[in-house]
Amino acid sequence: MKAVITILVFASLAGASLTLENPLNLWLYHSEATGDLLSGEFLDQHTVSFEPGSRTMWLWQLIQDESATPSTSDETIFASRTTIASAIEQNSDDMISSGGVQFEIFSRPLNWLTISERTSLWTGSDGNPPSAFSAFHYGLEHGRHLYVDWGFVQAETGPLQVALGRIPVRWGPGRFTQLLVSGEAPSMDMIKIDLDLGDKVNFTGFTATISSDSSTWLSAHRLDIKPYEKLRIGLSESILYTAGGIDLAYANVFIPWYPVQWNERVDDNAFMCVDATWQPQSGIALYSEFLIDDIQYENVNDVPNKLGYTFGIDYFHPQEGFGAVVEYTAIQRYVYSQRKINNFYMHDSRIIGSQLGPDSDRITGALSYAGFRGITAQLKGSYTRHGEGNVYEGWPDSVQAGGAFPSGTVENSSEVSLDLGWYPRNWLEVRTEGGISFTENADNMINVETDDSWISLELLVHTKLK
């Protein structure tokens, strides 16, 4: 007989759940191979099944503790969490140090109303934060590293949730990258709705400001469907546009935007995406994502398509604590670009979709183990190809289909890394990583080779107040 533990993790209650950058999310992805399928909008309520005596029972309890929201009562609820991080890294060139503090608050003044916020203050000798602080807003001015990572208010009534504020979002099943909304770009200021239409259908939509200086906006919506227990299909659409204010047609998350853009607007940057996860048998999850930036169904000028796709397989043995993933992603040239610079699919100088970027592909394999109490391990290797194209080249009128993929002089990079996590107490985390990488045709220059090696140590201390 199997025992079942329920892990409550709500992305919309980010201040009291696993954050998007938390490495424990890897194990929630692994759990899709044996438990319920995750929501396409990471993450939703989830169950994990395992047999008594499982080596990973400690891990699920840790995840449950870190993602649990404060208990509901008739009184006002307030909770806070402070994380102090300190990290050092020795690479091929020099020693790098960084450190900082995060302060989160969570409040439920009414049983239908919640408030969540996190601020970060950090410093780094190379201008970068500890890994636990990514991927939020990075300032343009040297030394200014005080940020509001997220902050929003959310109201819930029955199947409907409405949130307003700065909210972290990630869509899609990719373990190492996502194509439409990756979560590797900073949180966006938005109004967001979630509508739970039962066990088989869930709807999400939002409209966000991308750049107030250029009046750039992003609207996106997705429909998650479970035709049966072991299959989830996600249908998504997003559109990035420049306007003097919110376009009410695009702010209407309940209508399809492609015909609006095609027939009623000009040069808005529209995307469509399909993703799916399937558990053909216990222990294995197959997943994929297909992105359409532009497809030439009436191609009279030999213009190329702009497509991206991901395929992956995830294996997990929960009783022994062993997991494995193989994932391949390819993104064609000119994806995320557009004729108008303001309509590049970017936020805070980072691609809203995959950070792999256009004109590139990557295969990644990882072995994970959590069979020793308090210790997680991941051995990961990847091979990446980058062509000469990038998101900043736009979408020239003269572009023609054909040619090699990736294009021009191709940069080829190989990387191997080992990540270890140690959780001796519920308030203490120790993370260490070591790796090596080798690059041919670095920066797309013929016969230019580079190599790197690194080892890092990061310490995180958590304090909670409820």
pLDDT of amino acid 8: 39
**Bridging pattern class, strands 201-211 and 360-369:** unpaired
Q: Residue 194: in which H helix or E strand, if any? A: strand 188-196
What contacts 54, CB < 8 A, 6 or more positions away?
318, 319, 321
* Count of domains forming the chain: 1
Written as one letter, the residue type at 406 is: P
pLDDT at 100 over 60: yes
- Residue 38 in this model has a pLDDT that exceeds 60: yes
Please tell me the predicted confidence (pLDDT) of residue 211: 81
Gyration radius of the chain's alpha carbons:
22
Domain contains 445: yes
- Residue 217, pLDDT above cutoff 90: yes
Phi/psi zone of residue 456: left (φ > 0), alpha (ψ -120 to 50 degrees), beta?
beta
Length of the chain equals 466
74-89 residue pLDDT tens? 455 778 888 899 999 9
Determine the pLDDT at residue 449: 95
Q: Please tell me the predicted confidence (pLDDT) of residue 2.
A: 44
Cα distance between residue 452 and residue 446, in whole Å: 19
Beta pairing, strands 428-440 & 201-211 = unpaired
Q: 121 has which bridge partners?
A: 101, 146
The string of DSSP letters for 330-343 reads EE-TTTT--SSGGG
440 CB-contact burial (10 Å; exposed 0-12 / middle 13-18 / buried 19+): middle
> From CA 178, how far away is CA 345, in angstroms rounded?
14
Residue 402 pLDDT greater than 90, yes or no: no
Quick one: pLDDT at residue 6? 44
Lowest mean pLDDT among 56-65, 193-202, 305-314: 56-65
Q: For the segment 219-263, what is each residue's pLDDT rounded down to a tens digit? A: 999 999 999 989 999 999 999 999 888 888 899 998 888 888 878
- Asked whether 386 and 411 are in contact (CB, 8 A), the reply is yes
pLDDT score at 275: 97
Q: For residue 465, tell me if it sits in a domain.
A: no
Amino acid making up residue 16: A
Q: With cut-offs at 50, 70 and 90, classify the pLDDT of residue 139.
A: low
Using 50, 70 and 90 to split pLDDT, how confident is the model at 154? very high
Question: Residue 412: phi, psi to the nearest 5?
Answer: -115, 125
Q: How confident is the model at residue 1 (pLDDT cuts 50, 70, 90)?
A: very low
Confidence check: pLDDT of 90 > 80: yes
- Threshold 0.75, pTM exceeds: yes
Domain around 103: 3-460
The Cα-based distances of 231 to 4, 18, 200, 234, 277 in angstroms read: 20, 24, 10, 10, 6
Q: What is the mean pLDDT of residues 280-307?
A: 86
pLDDT > 90 in the chain, percent: 52
Q: What is the pLDDT of residue 75?
A: 55
169 in a domain, yes or no?
yes
Kindly tell me if the per-residue pLDDT of 421 is higher than 80: yes
Angle at 87 between CA 81 and CA 88, to 5 degrees: 175
Which residue shows structure tokens 């040069």?
267
Instruction: For 197-247, list the strands marked E by DSSP.
Output: 201-211, 216-228, 231-242
- Which has the closest alpha carbon to 129: 102, 94, 167? 102
Residue 51 contacts residue 319 (beta carbons within 8 Å): yes
SS3 65: helix
Indicate whether 196 belongs to any domain: yes
Is 38 within a domain? yes
Name which of 5-19, 299-313, 445-459 the model is least confident about.
Answer: 5-19
Give me the numbers of helices (H) and strands (E) for the chain, helices first please.
4, 22
Q: What is the mean pLDDT of residues 6-35?
A: 68
Highest mean pLDDT among 183-192, 210-219, 229-238, 337-346: 229-238
Is the per-residue pLDDT at 46 higher than 70? no
Tokens linked to 454: 């690194």
Per-residue pLDDT, 140: 56
The whole-number pLDDT of residue 68 equals 65
- The per-residue pLDDT for range 426-440, each reduced to its tens digit, is 889 999 999 999 999
CATH number of the domain encompassing residue 322? 2.40.160.100
The answer to whether 20 touches 62, Cβ cutoff 8 Å, is no
Q: Residue 422 — very low, low, confident or very high, per pLDDT cuts 50/70/90?
A: very high
**pLDDT score recorded for residue 16:** 42
Residue 74 pLDDT: 44
For residue 127, what pLDDT band results from cuts at 50, 70 and 90?
confident
Q: Is the pLDDT of residue 114 over 50?
A: yes
Distance in angstroms (rounded) separating the CA atoms of residues 123 and 127: 7
Q: Which long-range contacts (CB under 8 A, 24 or more apart) does 91-97 make?
A: 91/452, 91/453, 91/454, 92/451, 92/452, 92/453, 92/454, 95/125, 96/124, 96/125, 96/126, 96/128, 97/124, 97/125
Higher pLDDT, 23 or 417: 417
Task: Inform me whether the pLDDT recorded for 278 exceeds 90.
Answer: yes
pLDDT at 50: 62
Asked if residue 466 is part of any domain, the answer here is no
pLDDT digits (tens, 9 = 90+) for 349-385: 899 999 999 999 999 999 999 999 999 999 999 999 9
Q: Does the pLDDT of residue 15 top 70, yes or no?
A: no
The stretch 127-154 carries a mean pLDDT of 78
Percentage of the residues of the chain whose pLDDT score is greater than 70: 89
Give the integer Cα–Cα distance in Å for 463 and 450. Answer: 42
